[in-house]
Structure 1
Amino acid sequence: MEQYEPERLSAAQIAAMRRSLTSGRGALTRRSLLRASGMGALAIGGLGTLSACGIPPAQREGDAAAASDDHSAEEKQVNFSNWTEYMDIGEDKKSRPTLEAFTKRTGISVKYTEDINDNVEFFGKIKPQMAAGQDTGRDLIIVTDWLAARIIRLGWAQRLDASNLPHAFANLSAQFRTPDWDPGRAYSYPWTGIPTVIAYNSRATGGRKVDSVTQLLDDPALKGRVSFLSEMRDTIGMTLLDQGKDPASFTDADYDAAINRLQKGVDKKQIRRFTGNDYTADLDKGDIAACVAWAGDIIQLQAGNPDIKYAIPAAGYITSSDNMLVPAKARHKTNAEKLMDYYYEPPVAARLAAFINFVCPVDGVRDELARIDEKMAANTLILPDREMAARSHSFRSLSTKEETAYEEKFAKLIGA
C-alpha cells in the first residue's frame, strides 16, 4: 500500500505556515470561537432549548443512527466538514497534500468544506435535519467534545465499525481513549487535543515564573494584569484543580466554591478581564502579565516573542478535544471511517500536527514529526510526554440542567 511521506519543510515554509495560523480572519475565527461554550448556546436558544423544540430525548444509540444506508461501495466519495485553518496546505496555498494523497491511494474523492466557525452556529445549522432523521449532506464532521457528547446522547452519530479503523484503534493515545461521554470511542475519534495552561510574559513579570492559579489570583505583583478565559470549562476546570478538586467528578458545592474564588479576584481587581483568544495581543505586549491560555496560541506567540513562556501547574491542567463524528443518515459511512483511520497513520498525523500546532492524539508520530521539524517534535504542547499526559484532566460531561445552571453562574461572574 502506498504510504504518505511528509517532506522536510524549510525554515521559510515553516514561518509561512505559522503566519497563516496567526493572521487573517480565518485564524482569528478558529481560535476565538474554537471553544464556543454552553453560554453561547443558551444565549441564542441552541442547546438549552432542545426539549422545547420537540427533539427526541437523549439516547446513547438512537434509531436514526442505526438505520443509515451506506452507499460507500458505489459512491467513492466523502463529504468532510471542518473548521478553518485545521488542515495542512501545500506551498501553493491551495492544495491539501494529505487529502490528495488519500484520494490517490483509495480512489475516494473528498469534498472538503471549511464551514464550521462556531460549535453552536454549526449545530443550529444541522439540527433541523438531524432531528427529522434526514441526511445533513456531511459524512464526517469535527466538533468540540461537549457538542460531540450532546450529538451522541441524542442518537445523532453513527456507531463506528472498528474493522475500518485499525490504525485509529492501535495508535490512539491513552489520554484520549476513555472520555466519559464516549467510553471506548464507540462513536468518535479525536482530531486534536486542546490543552489549557498558564502563560506569562517573563519581561512583564520581571523574570518571575507564574505556574499556578493561586499566583494568578493572589500575587499582588500581578494585580490588574491577569486574565482568565471566557470558556467556562477551562477557567472553572483550572480553578477546581488548583483547589484540589477533580474536574471529572466535582459537585455543585465544588463548582460554587470555584465561582466564589474567582469572584473575589474580580472584586479586588486582580483579574483584568475574561477573554476569548484576544488575550494574545495583550500578553505579547506585556499588558497582560500572566493568564490562563490555550497551548496552540502560546506555540504561535513563542515563534515571534521569546518572552512568552508557559507552565503546567503542579495541580494539573485541562485538556479538551475536537472530535470526528459520522452523522446519522450519512451516505458514505465506510468511506468516512477510512478517512478517519488514515489520519491515524503516523506520517499523515505528523504532517497535520506540523500545520495546526495543537496536541496530536496519535502515538508513534515523534520520529515522523522530527523529520519535518525537530523543535515541534520536542514540544510537549504538541506531543505530550508521559509525565505531561498524566497531569491532564478532562472536564466532566454535564446534564442539560447542570449546563444551564453552571453557565448562568459563570455568565454573571464574567459580566456576560
Structure 2
Amino acid sequence: MPTDQPSFDAMLRAARSNVAGRPLGRRNVLRGASLAALALGAPSLVSACGTDSQVQSADTCESTDISAEEKELVFSNWPEYIDRKGKAMPTLEQFQSESGISVTYNTDVNDNNDFFGKVKDQLGACEPIGRDIITLTDWMAARMIGLGWIQELDKANMPNVEANLAPDLRSPSWDSDRTRSVPWQSGVTGIAYNAKYTGEVGSFEELMTRGDLKGKISLLSEMGDTMTFMLLLEGSDPENFDSEEWSAAIARLEGYVSAGQVRRFTGNDYIRDLNAGNIVACEAWSGDVIAMQYDNPDIKWVVPEEGLSLWSDNMLVPNKADHKANAEALMNHYYDPEVAATLAAWVNYICPVAGAQEAMEKIDPSLVDNPLIFPDEEFLANAYGFMELDEKTRQQYDKDFAKVIGA
C-alpha cells in the first residue's frame, strides 16, 4: 500500500511534537523484545506455555467479585502507556474522583511472554495473581482466553464500550463478541530507515534483498510481527495460513539470515542502532518513529508496499480477580470519547474509541487527522493481524522462530 511520504512525514512531525521530553513509550520497552523471552532458548518457550492440566473454565475456576465491598482495583499495564502531567495521571485520577474507586496502577507488563511466565502457574492452578486488569497483545490475550484464564465481562457495566468500540475491533477471531477483552490501544508495524545513511526503503522485499543493506538491517524478535511480513512475501495471508505456508515463510527467513542480510533481531533497542547508523533500516513500530524523529529528523517511516502489521493491546480480567465490576467501570471510563482522546494525545497510538476523533478537536486539533491515531479505511486497507493459533501450534511455531533467529 504505497503512501505519500511527504504528507505522512508531516503527520509524524505533528505527532512527535507531543512527545517532547517524554520517556519512550509502551512499544519502546522490551516486550517480546531484546530476546527477552527467546534469549533463554526454546526450552524457556515450552515452560512459558500452558499445558492441558492448566486449562480452566468457569466451572473449574469460580471467581467471586467483592467490588461492592471494596472500592479498589489493581491495574497492570505497559510502561509509559497512559497520559501523564508531571507525576499525575489525569484520566486515571479523574476516574478515581468520579467513581470513588482507588486504583493501584502498575507498569509491570514489559513483555508478553515474560508476563505469561510470571502468572501461568497461579492462573493454571486457579489461584489469584493480585491483579484485576492486565493488558496484553492480541496473540497473548488469545492464548490466555483459550486456556480459560480470563473472566467473562458484564457488558451492562460498560455502556460506553458497547456504544463506542471502533467497528473494526469488535470481532477478533479469538474473542468474536468481545466477551472477555476490551482494546486499550492499537498500533502498526512497518519500516524505518535513516536517511543520513541510505535512500528510501519502500518494501520488505527491498529490506530483505538489497545488496547495499546487507548486514545493516534488523528485524523484530516478536514472532507475530516478523512472520507477518515473511508470510506476505510468500504470497500468504498472515490471518489465514496453513502449516506448509508457515514452513515456506520460515525457510524464507532462514535464507535471509544465512545470507547475512540481517544484522540482528531486536526489541526496541534498534532505536540506538538506527540513530547511530549501526543499522540503516529496520522493521519498526510506528510509535518509536514518532519519538525518534523528535531528536533525529533523518529517521523516516514507511508503510511497506506489502502492507502493515496491525496489533492491539487488550484489557483483560483474570480469573480470581476480586474486583471485576470495578475493572469494568474503569474500562467504561476510558471509552468516553473525551477521555480516550486525552489518552491518545499522549500515547500517540491508534485510538480504539469511536467519537474520540471529534473530541480531539478540543484537546489537540493538530492530531485530528493523524493516521497513526485515527487511521482511515485506506490507511488500514492492507493492514494484517496474525492468525490465532492453538496452544500446540503456538509452541511449535515459537520453537521454529527461535531456532532461526538464534535464540
Q: Same fold (TM over 0.5)?
A: yes
Q: Which residue of 2 aligns with 1:107?
A: 100
The one-letter code matched in structure 1 to 2:82 is M
Q: What's the CA shift for 1:340?
A: 0.6
Contact 1:41 1:120 in 2 (8 A): no
Does 2:150 correspond to 1:129? no
Instruction: Compute the RMSD of aligned alpha carbons.
Output: 2.5
Q: 1:234 aligns with which of 222, 225, 229?
A: 225
Which residue of the partner structure matches residue 51 of structure 2? Answer: 51
Aligned residue for 1:5?
Answer: none
Matched, 1:256 2:247: yes
The 1-side partners of 2:294 and 2:322 are apart by 42
Task: Answer with 226-235 or 285-294: which moved more.
Answer: 285-294
Query: Could you tell me how far 1:404 is from its partner in structure 2?
Result: 2.3
AA in 1 matched with 2:22:
S
Aligned equivalent of 2:403: 412
Match of 2:29 in 1: 31
**Structure 1 residue 38: deviation in Å?**
7.1
Residue 120 of structure 1, CA deviation: 2.8
1:144–1:21 distance in 2 versus 1, CA, 3 Å: same
Hey, what's the Cα distance between the residues in 2 that align with 1:29 and 1:397? 21
Give the distance between the partners of 1:294 and 1:233, measured in 2 at CA: 13
Partners of 1:331 and 1:96 lie apart in 2 by 24
Query: Following superposition of structure 1 onto structure 2, how do residues 346-385 of structure 1 map, counting pairs within 5 Å?
Result: 346-385=337-376
* Secondary structure of the structure 2 residue equivalent to 1:385: coil
Q: Secondary structure at the match of 1:211?
A: coil
Q: CA deviation at 1:185?
A: 0.9
3-state secondary structure, aligned to 2:172: coil
Contact 1:64 1:329 in 2 (8 A): no
For residues 268-279 of structure 1, the aligned pairs below 5 Å read 268-279=259-270
Distance 2:186 2:60 in 1: 29
Aligned with residue 79 of structure 1, among 74, 89, 103? 74
The offset of 1:224, in angstroms, is 2.3
Match runs of 1:11-410 below 5 Å: 17-22=19-24, 31-33=29-31, 39=38, 42-44=42-44, 48-51=48-51, 54-56=53-55, 61-64=57-60, 67-90=62-85, 93-206=86-199, 209-410=200-401
Gaps of 5+ in 1: 1-10
Query: Using the alignment, how far apart are the partners of 2:373 and 2:26 within structure 1?
Result: 20
Deviates more, 1:367-376 or 1:400-409: 367-376
SS state at 2:30 partner: helix
For residues 226-254 of structure 1, the C-alpha deviation after alignment (integer angstroms, 9 at most, x for no partner) is: 22111111111012123321111111111
Q: 3-state SS of the aligned residue for 1:88? A: coil
Could you report, residue by residue, the CA deviation over 1:9-29 in whole angstroms, capped at 9, with x for unpaired residues? xx9xx868543323xxxx599
CA 1:149–1:409 in 2, change beyond 3 Å: closer, same or farther?
A: same
Residues 151 and 47 of structure 1: is their aligned pair in 2 closer, same or farther, counting only changes over 3 Å? farther
Structure 2 letter corresponding to 1:314: E
* Cα offsets for 1:328-382 (capped at 9, x unmatched): 1222111110101111111111121122222221122223334333443332122
The residue type paired with residue 303 of structure 1 is Y
Identity %: 45
Distance 1:118 1:270, change over 3 A: closer
Distance 1:386 1:43, change over 3 A: same
Q: How many residues align?
A: 391
In structure 2, C-alpha distance between the alignment counterparts of 1:99 and 1:31, rounded to whole Å: 22
- Do the aligned partners of 2:27 and 2:287 also contact (CA within 8 Å) in 1? no
TM-aligned CA distance change 1:322 to 1:401, over 3 Å: same
Q: With structure 1 as the length reference, what TM-score do the two structures score?
A: 0.86
What amino acid maps onto 1:107 in structure 2? G
Compute the TM-score of the two structures, normalised by the length of structure 2: 0.88
